[in-house]
Structure 1
Amino acid sequence: MPPPISARAAPGDRRRGCAGGLWAEARGPGAGGLFARPKPRMPTWPPFPWTWRNGGSANPTKWPGWTRPPAAALTQARELLTELGALDQDGGLTVHGRAMNRLSMHPRLAHMVLRARDMGAAGLACDIAALLSERDVLRAERGGRDGDIRLRLDALRGGDGLDPRHGQGVDRGALARARQSAKDWRRRLGLRMGEQECDARECGVLLAFAYPDRIAKRRPGGEPRYALSGGRGAFFQDHEPLAAQDWLVAVELDGDKREARIFLAAALTRADIDAHFAESIRIEDKVGWDRRDEVVTAARRTCLFALTLEERRLDKVAPDALAAAMAEGVRQMGLACLPWTDELQKFRRRLAFLRRHDAEGGWPDLSDQALLDTLDQWLLPYLTGITRRAHLQKLDLNAALRGLLDWQADKRLDEMAPTHISVPSGSRVPIDYDGDEPVLAVRLQEMFGCADTPRIAGDRVPVLMHLLSPARRPVQVTRDLASFWANAYHAVKADLKGQYPKHWWPDDPMQAEPTARAKPRR
């Protein structure tokens, strides 16, 4: 469906904009209709006689003397003409489209008149077409403008005056022209006076034929706001009797792209929609993620184009569909919603280290972006039975991530990027993979007698030694233990001996016994 169409026209042109401004939205809201650019050679687009006079071409390059319309306008026009049944899926003119063309009427109105004739309401359709082709026949004199088109039909059919309670006056000139137009349309259709007349209450159905993209359903809540079948929103700004209607057709709108103000409308019912748009109504089962409540939802929706007519909860849903929706929820919330532990974060950092230093090892990418991009591969199988954020706390995230490695890769990981290193004192000291290079923070006394810096990643990468005081404060950072013992140790020893006199500070660290205690056991 094309988006709802702007009816905001240049001064004095709004009423013509109801029908004639069909293509103004391609130029953007507030574009001023045809006044916003040099006047084209024809008043509106697409002009049926020019479009298909020769061979039924819908290609604007073949229209004699026509200024090529913008690409967006051309696309929207084709979409709407296809929806109105004037074009087939290949862009060719249909039998219905040829009948519309013969009326030399705006496509929306031509479609409405033909549909109305089939249901015995062509006289009413002629009245509506006359009203929409003329400026508003009513003037707002008190209390604002009433947007119910039936008031205009009453004036057109009944007399020059209205119930003063409506606060509306009559524009006699516009009314006379509209009446004459209605007679002319009846004559062109071969209708006798009084033939195919019906109650004005049917005008909503007829206008829905002309504006299938503006069928409106009232949104929940107290405000008079509506969702449109074309995908946008709409609202009444002032108090309007029509604002109490659950269903209506928004005939005249302003140019707001997201939520347009309604100026002219007609009441409609759900029964009308079911009766006359059954071929366009579809039923779809929707399983998705509710961002606000952070829960998977499953519903059966009855839709007319972009408008949800009815929605019911689905109680029986395939487990894989629920899991897929939950995966989408994780994608939207981000990885922080998963039950991470320190051990799992260390696991990720170890793999990131190996991807940098063992590029040919085939290690999986566990960066945030990579995990989000591959959720369906590694996380989806573990989401069965999980349908809301709170349930994620019972997820076996460890199994999901470690499942990316087979047993051989898992063994190689422990060999090449171990979690701990055994130091000369016998302690197992953890390696910190947080930064760009692995860090081994160990008390200096535990490394006595060790001349070689520990290396990992297949002996390719030396760890960065943070040698600590007895209080576990760094006193030296080095990648070369042998150089430290030979050059810097004696200065460090002198400082530490003064601070920690009860601890053992040998003169020859290479021959001393390593210890995790203040002094080695004797």
Structure 2
Amino acid sequence: MSIVPELPELPISDVLTNIDLSLEQHLQLVLEAPPGAGKTTLVPLSILKHQSDKPIKNWLGQQRILMLEPRRMAARSAATRMASLLNEPVGKTVGYRVRQETKVSRHTRIEVITEGILVRMLIQDPSLADIGLLIFDEFHERSLDADLGLAFALQGREIFRDASNPLRILIMSATLDGSAIASLLDSAREDPTDTAATPIISSLGKQYPVAIHYGARKQQHEDIIKRTVLALIEITNTLEGDILVFLPGYKEINNVRGRFSASLSDSQSSLLHIFPLYGALPFALQQQAIEPLSQADRQRGARKIVLATDIAETSLTIEGITIVIDSGLCRQPIFSPATGMTRLQTNSISQDSSIQRMGRAGRLEPGQCFRLWSEEQQKLLPRHSPPEILQADLASLTLQLLAWGIHEPEELAWLDIPPRGALSQALDLLKQLGVIQQHDKQKALTDNEPALDHWVLTPHGTQLVSLPIHPRLAHMLLRSRTINQQKVAAALAVLLTDRSPLSNRFDTDITTQIAIVQGTSHCQKQFRSWQQRAQRQALLFEKLLSDLSTDADESCSENDSDANAIAEQNAAGYLLACAYPDRIARRKSAHSNQYLLSNGRTAIIDFADPCCGHEWLSAAEVVGSTQTQKTPQSNNTDRIYSACPLDINLFDGALSYLINASTSIHWDENTDRFSAEKTHAVGAIVLRKERLENITLESKINAIVTHIQKRGLNILPWTKSTRQWQARVTLLRRIYSSSNDKARSPWPDVSDQHLLASLEHWLTPFLSKIGKRSDFDKLDLQAILNTLLPWPLPQQLTALAPLTITVPSGHQAGIDYSQTSPVLNVKLQEMFGCRSTPTIAEGNIKLIVQLLSPARRPLQVTQDLEGFWKTSYHDVKKEMRGRYPKHPWPDNPLEAVATKYTKRNRDKG
């Protein structure tokens, strides 16, 4: 006799037999079914029923069905609904396992769990030996744990399960492309003889028509609370039916609830039952939002209004809803590898999400959906929401990959491979927490090698894997045992695991909230149920700690000789610093509200906040600048929302392992002088510096050379004369070198580029006395450069590239080598009688002759002096003769006497 009675008829019922037959013939199956089809409750029960009715072809046997839900609320609700269909209490045939709560027994055949629990089950038992069917429900949500759980399950099945006892996998999705999932499942099979494609079964579901109404164009910084309240007022006054309102978070839910309730008359308030619905809400209050109103309430005309986050998009069925009001917003955690921080960011939803939200109004009868944005904006929404694996903190995933024994993420089957940048960030954090160590220390790590290949878990890391919490907080819990402050750590873990409803009701100091969790401080009535739940969770964390061995504590606290001496009032600061060593904060100046974080970023606190009076803080929650209100004071800075004071003396004891001592021999850009010091720092925060007295001359000179290479050669005392010398040598190198091999030239390369690259060969012998910027001006740069010319090149330089030449007037005229070709600047009258252009370098280089007026202004530039006399000179003569009548302007300059004087002075001479 079947243990499952007759099941109700729902849209999914049409394909239940096909599902069972497919699983009988295949080890994997993809089921596409829209929200509301009934897949979550009927599919597991139907499979159990079909198998219990088949004594011969019963592939399930006595094994269990394990079904994953992305959220705790969905897991509890699904198990509760299935148990009610069996007329049994939860925990008998159908049970569930979520954080803080387990309701299963030896009779349980269907167990509903959250995804994080599956990953830990797989790490403990990769074979899932007593599981016959693994169901991934709502896989389209693409949570990080679902992606990782599927990857582990596929590999674990290939390695640890055999043909006589296979693990079947069923993936159920509402909107994701089923063919993509099927292809992933096919690619994960290692048996070359298994060529059958993964079957895909689709259920059309049953959806009543929903009329969609668009609002005005939504502005970027619009008050969504005001717009939602106005919509609620209008709709409750004009339409009948229960209403589901989608809002981004519980803060908006509370604000909408308060403003809307204040707008109601007493008679309206008695008929409108307003329920919040979000993840951190106690289960009993969640059930009130989900369950239908009582018959008595219905008879007197009462209506239900549910204010929910995106938790109500799928998985849950909320009875009676015929109207949906959609804000079009959701709140998503976005991780930045650049900052190492995750921030909650309010974003527009995807088109898929808008369709799912709209569908909530058409489950029972035709409905209406009011979208608080324009139809044009709807077309611009992204098609799908990005999977969590592409934008999440991957510290937990990386820890679990290492615990699984993965060397490269590509070893597993993924729809989206974890990004390398986020993996590298995660490895840095795990290393800082003492969770991992380099497994092959002889081999240097390079960017081209697999990100995980050289890392293994430490004993401390092995213990962390067993704790169902982020590695930061797991590390904090373990370290709390070294100071005997497990209760404080457990309270902190509760507050930091799920966003506390108290977080916006107190100042930044988290110790106030710790006291409420511990029951030593007053708690307002509306938070009593949360307080009780938080205290139960804290007790679970304490029990988890007590069940662990203390072997790893010795290795993780080897520098904590003074750890037990930490005063109780300093425990929270110490524990937060353990969890968030990158968020240790130091005030920038005595009366500032700006803090330098150890990760190098700047964060602010309100001046009125009590934490602002402390020089040192341990910050737990830091929100990125894109989420803070931009003011002239806070622009481009982060904001600290949760922290507590940190005792600086801990850096001499329990937190000494965080201090990095580094020797720095460098040129200080701030003081513009050479510096040699030892720095003790926590990340970017400098604790103290010590001057180094005994350093080698080589170290000093290397630092100075580095400074010159950074600043450029202009830091040296160049003069016009030294630049001329450089240009003359460069010219001769070009002239007297092989056209194919300039290295054969006797003249060295003295270009700025080469001089800068070869400082150690020509400048270092002269840098020993350099200590400050002004010392560079004392260098005899010309003498230093002269050392680059071996004998007899100095004499040849003078002969081949002279600084001056004798012109026909008998005077010495200077040559300018700063141009591409050398230029002779000379008065026109001094070149009378010169028939050919002057040359240098044994006649290899014609000078460019710049002929000057008596006032030494350019008249003509030429390399063809003879041609000038015959042509252009006569035009110059006509123009200049009247302007400079005292100077000679002969008709035949080639026969005239060259002179630098006027006609009168020339005749006297």
1:42, 1:516 → 2: CA distance? 80
Matched AA of 1:81 = L
1:338, 1:27 → 2: CA distance? 38
Residue matched to 2:497: 133
Task: Say if 2:803 is the partner of 1:419.
Answer: yes
Residue-by-residue CA offset, 1:184-231 (whole Å, 9 max, x unaligned): 12223337xxxx998353122122221222222332342133333333
2:543, 2:604 → 1: CA distance? 37
Residue matched to 1:261: 639
Residue matched to 2:477: 113
Residue-by-residue CA offset, 1:238-276 (whole Å, 9 max, x unaligned): 422222222221111112497421111122223212312
Superposed, 1:14-33 pairs within 5 Å as 24-26=335-337, 32=345
Asked if 2 retains the 8 angstrom alpha-carbon contact of 1:134 and 1:177, the reply is no
SS of the residue corresponding to residue 299 of structure 1 reads strand
Residue matched to 2:611: 242
Asked if 2 retains the 8 angstrom alpha-carbon contact of 1:57 and 1:92, the reply is no
Deviation at 1:41, TM superposition (A): 12
1:41, 1:486 → 2: CA distance? 79
2:392, 2:890 → 1: CA distance? 101
Residue-by-residue CA offset, 1:54-91 (whole Å, 9 max, x unaligned): 74336434557785322211111122122222222122
Tell me which structure has the larger Cα radius of gyration.
2
Deviation at 1:509, TM superposition (A): 4.8
1:207 is aligned, of 551, 568, 576, to 576
Superposed, 1:12-411 pairs within 5 Å as 12=250, 24-26=335-337, 32=345, 37-39=386-388, 45-47=394-396, 51=400, 55-57=404-406, 59-62=408-411, 67-89=416-438, 90-138=454-502, 140=504, 145-159=506-520, 161=522, 171-190=527-546, 199-256=568-625, 259-359=637-737, 360=742, 361=745, 363-411=747-795
Deviation at 1:423, TM superposition (A): 1.8
2:690, 2:782 → 1: CA distance? 37
Structure 1 residues 511 and 15 mapped into 2: Cα distance closer, same or farther (>3 Å)?
farther
Matched AA of 1:130 = V
Matched AA of 2:795 = K
Asked if 1 retains the 8 angstrom alpha-carbon contact of 2:436 and 2:455, the reply is yes
Deviation at 1:447, TM superposition (A): 3.0
1:140, 1:76 → 2: CA distance? 29
Asked if 2 retains the 8 angstrom alpha-carbon contact of 1:150 and 1:203, the reply is yes
Deviation at 1:290, TM superposition (A): 3.0
The TM-score normalised by the length of structure 1 is 0.81
Matched AA of 1:161 = H
Structure 1 residues 104 and 66 mapped into 2: Cα distance closer, same or farther (>3 Å)?
farther
SS of the residue corresponding to residue 664 of structure 2 reads strand
Asked if 2 retains the 8 angstrom alpha-carbon contact of 1:285 and 1:299, the reply is yes
Matched AA of 1:410 = P
The TM-score normalised by the length of structure 2 is 0.49
1:410, 1:32 → 2: CA distance? 70
Structure 1 residues 344 and 274 mapped into 2: Cα distance closer, same or farther (>3 Å)?
same
Asked if 1 retains the 8 angstrom alpha-carbon contact of 2:851 and 2:859, the reply is yes
Residue matched to 1:11: 249
1:503, 1:236 → 2: CA distance? 80
Residue-by-residue CA offset, 1:9-58 (whole Å, 9 max, x unaligned): x7349999xxxx99822398756399973456999745469925974336
Asked if 1 retains the 8 angstrom alpha-carbon contact of 2:602 and 2:638, the reply is yes
Asked if 1 retains the 8 angstrom alpha-carbon contact of 2:395 and 2:429, the reply is no
Deviation at 1:234, TM superposition (A): 2.5
Asked if 1 retains the 8 angstrom alpha-carbon contact of 2:395 and 2:430, the reply is no
Residue-by-residue CA offset, 1:360-417 (whole Å, 9 max, x unaligned): 4364455555444444444443333232223332222222333333333333332332
Matched AA of 2:817 = Y
Gaps of 5+ in 1: 1-9, 163-167
Matched AA of 2:575 = L
1:110, 1:336 → 2: CA distance? 55
Residue-by-residue CA offset, 1:478-506 (whole Å, 9 max, x unaligned): 32333444556667667766666665566
Matched AA of 2:427 = R
1:277, 1:348 → 2: CA distance? 57
2:469, 2:861 → 1: CA distance? 86
Structure 1 residues 173 and 380 mapped into 2: Cα distance closer, same or farther (>3 Å)?
farther
SS of the residue corresponding to residue 24 of structure 1 reads strand
Deviation at 1:301, TM superposition (A): 0.9
- What is the root-mean-square deviation in Å for CA atoms of aligned residues? 4.0
Structure 1 residues 467 and 185 mapped into 2: Cα distance closer, same or farther (>3 Å)?
closer
SS of the residue corresponding to residue 92 of structure 1 reads strand
2:481, 2:752 → 1: CA distance? 62
Structure 1 residues 413 and 183 mapped into 2: Cα distance closer, same or farther (>3 Å)?
same
Structure with greater contact order relative to length (CA < 8 Å, sep ≥ 6)? 1
Matched AA of 2:796 = R
Asked if 2 retains the 8 angstrom alpha-carbon contact of 1:41 and 1:66, the reply is no
- 58-67 vs 130-139, which deviates more? 58-67
Matched AA of 1:11 = G
Deviation at 1:169, TM superposition (A): 9.3
Asked if 2 retains the 8 angstrom alpha-carbon contact of 1:214 and 1:249, the reply is yes
SS of the residue corresponding to residue 458 of structure 1 reads coil
1:444, 1:66 → 2: CA distance? 82
1:392, 1:65 → 2: CA distance? 60
1:517, 1:41 → 2: CA distance? 83
Residue-by-residue CA offset, 1:308-354 (whole Å, 9 max, x unaligned): 22123445554444444444444555444433322122223333444
Identity %: 35
Asked if 2 retains the 8 angstrom alpha-carbon contact of 1:137 and 1:175, the reply is no
Superposed, 1:442-461 pairs within 5 Å as 442-461=826-845
2:333, 2:503 → 1: CA distance? 24
Asked if 2 retains the 8 angstrom alpha-carbon contact of 1:462 and 1:479, the reply is yes
Asked if 2 retains the 8 angstrom alpha-carbon contact of 1:49 and 1:101, the reply is no
Residue-by-residue CA offset, 1:113-150 (whole Å, 9 max, x unaligned): 22222343323322221222232252655xxx411121
2:827, 2:900 → 1: CA distance? 8
Asked if 2 retains the 8 angstrom alpha-carbon contact of 1:50 and 1:64, the reply is no
1:203, 1:430 → 2: CA distance? 78
